[in-house]
């Protein structure tokens, strides 16, 4: 557990429900991700990938074991600490989840507004810059309804990365996109992450994008499988 690791998961278990209905979904998860590493987590539906991602992202609190994200212990953290922890992460979802009443620019600057330390003009300037980096400088004042699926996902990436988070968590970011848009989106993520030096944990079913990963982990029935098997599956 050196300082060099941005995510350290140690003997993490997680269950849903209580009493007789209690169902364990994560079993003894151990995972270490170094700063700047791009890790793809893959595996069948229902294997617990998204649950692990939401735990790391602070969307739910971890129950047993240890979960350290950028040095902060998340297991047993209060709601308030979780909210603060979320601000360190950039989140990219399967659906773009942009706010329909806000323009691309306004959506992106929400990623800065949540930090609460920049004035509006500065937030808008940085958001415009970020949109230019994802190739949407022409579309800053468009509403999501007027953007294509790939463009919307690029706005979502800009929103996640505009605050220069240390960790980016992506849940099936290419699932709703065609091959080319999906490729573009992943390339942009990859390039920006390398540029900003942030860690990416990406959950996906999409075999076409596995090549951007520094490492691939495979999850099945709530357990992370060993590396050699994984490599075979990735082929």
Partner 1 sequence: MLGLIKTLKTLGDRTPLGLKQLNHDRMRLLTAIAGITFADILIFMQLGFADALYKSNTQYPRALQSDLVIISTQAKNFGQLRTFARRRFLQAQDIPGVASAEPLYLGSVNWRNPQTRKQTSMLLIGQNPSQPAFNLPDVNAKLDAIQLPDRVLFDQASRGSYDEMIEQFKQGERVTSEIGLRTVEVAGLFEVGASFSEDGALITSDQNFLRLFPKREAGAVSLGLINLEPGADPEQVRAELAARLPDDVQVLTKDGYVDFELNDIQSESPIGFVFGLGSAMGFIVGVVIVYQVLSTDVNSHLGEYATFRAMGFRNSYLLGIVVEEAIVLSVLGFVPGLVIALGAYQLTAAATALPLAMPVSRAITVLALTFVMCGASGAIATRRLQAADPADIF
Q: Cβ 211 to partner 1, closest distance in Å? A: 25
CA distance 189 to 1: 27
Q: Is 109 a binder of partner 1 (CB under 8 A)?
A: yes
Q: Is 102 a binder of partner 1 (CB under 8 A)?
A: yes
Question: Mind giving me the DSSP string for 39-63?
Answer: EEEE--TTSSHHHHHHHHTTSS---
Q: Is 100 a binder of partner 1 (CB under 8 A)?
A: yes
Site track 32-51 with partner 1 (rule: CB under 8 A), x = hit: ------------------x-
Q: Cβ 117 to partner 1, closest distance in Å? A: 11
Q: Cβ 184 to partner 1, closest distance in Å? A: 22
Q: Which of 153, 161, 171, 193 binds partner 1 (CB under 8 A)?
A: 171
Question: Mind giving me the DSSP string for the chain?
Answer: --TTEEEEEEEEEEEES-GGG-EEEEEEEEEEEETT-EEEEE--TTSSHHHHHHHHTTSS---EEEEEETTEE-TT--HHHHHHHHTTEEEE-SS----TTS-HHHHHHHHHHTTT-S-HHHHHHHHHHHHHHTT-GGGTT--GGGS-HHHHHHHHHHHHHTT--SEEEEESTTTTS-HHHHHHHHHHHHHHHHHHT-EEEEE---GGGGGG-SEEEEEETTEEPPHHHHHHHH-
Q: Which of 21, 22, 78, 119 binds partner 1 (CB under 8 A)?
A: 119
Based on CB atoms, which residue is closest to partner 1, 34 or 94? Answer: 94
Q: Is 57 a binder of partner 1 (CB under 8 A)?
A: yes
Q: Is 142 a binder of partner 1 (CB under 8 A)?
A: no
Q: Is 52 a binder of partner 1 (CB under 8 A)?
A: no
Q: Is 113 a binder of partner 1 (CB under 8 A)?
A: yes
Interface with partner 1 (CB under 8 A), residue total 31
Q: Cβ 163 to partner 1, closest distance in Å? A: 9
CA distance 42 to 29: 15
Q: Is 19 a binder of partner 1 (CB under 8 A)?
A: no
> Taking contact as CB under 8 A, which single stretch among the options 3-11, 39-47, 77-85, 188-196 is the one that binds partner 1?
77-85
Interface with partner 1 by CB under 8 A: which residues?
A: 50, 54, 57, 59-60, 83-87, 91, 93-95, 97-102, 106, 109-111, 113-114, 119-120, 143, 159, 171
């Amino acid at each position: 557990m050196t300082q060099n690791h941005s995510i350290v998961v140690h003997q993490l278990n997680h269950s849903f429900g209580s009493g007789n209905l209690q169902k364990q979904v994560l079993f003894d998860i151990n995972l270490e991700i170094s700063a700047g590493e791009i890790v793809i987590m893959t595996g069948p539906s229902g294997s617990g990938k998204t649950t692990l991602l939401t735990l790391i992202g602070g969307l739910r609190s971890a129950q047993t074991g240890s979960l350290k994200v950028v040095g902060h212990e998340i297991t047993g953290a209060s709601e308030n600490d979780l909210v603060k922890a979320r601000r360190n992460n950039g989140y990219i979802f399967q659906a773009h989840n942009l706010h329909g009443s806000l323009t691309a620019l306004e959506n992106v600057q929400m990623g800065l507004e949540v930090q609460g330390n920049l004035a509006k003009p500065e937030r808008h300037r940085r958001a415009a810059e970020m949109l230019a980096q994802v190739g949407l400088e022409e579309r800053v004042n468009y509403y999501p309804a007027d953007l294509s699926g790939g463009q919307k996902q690029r706005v979502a990436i800009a929103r996640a990365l505009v605050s220069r988070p240390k960790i980016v968590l992506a849940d099936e970011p290419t699932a709703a996109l065609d091959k080319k848009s999906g490729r573009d989106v992943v390339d942009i993520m990859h390039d920006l992450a390398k540029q900003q030096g942030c860690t990416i944990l990406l959950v996906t079913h999409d075999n076409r994008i596995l090549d951007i990963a520094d490492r691939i982990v495979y999850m099945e029935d709530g357990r992370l499988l060993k590396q050699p098997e994984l490599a075979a599956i990735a082929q």
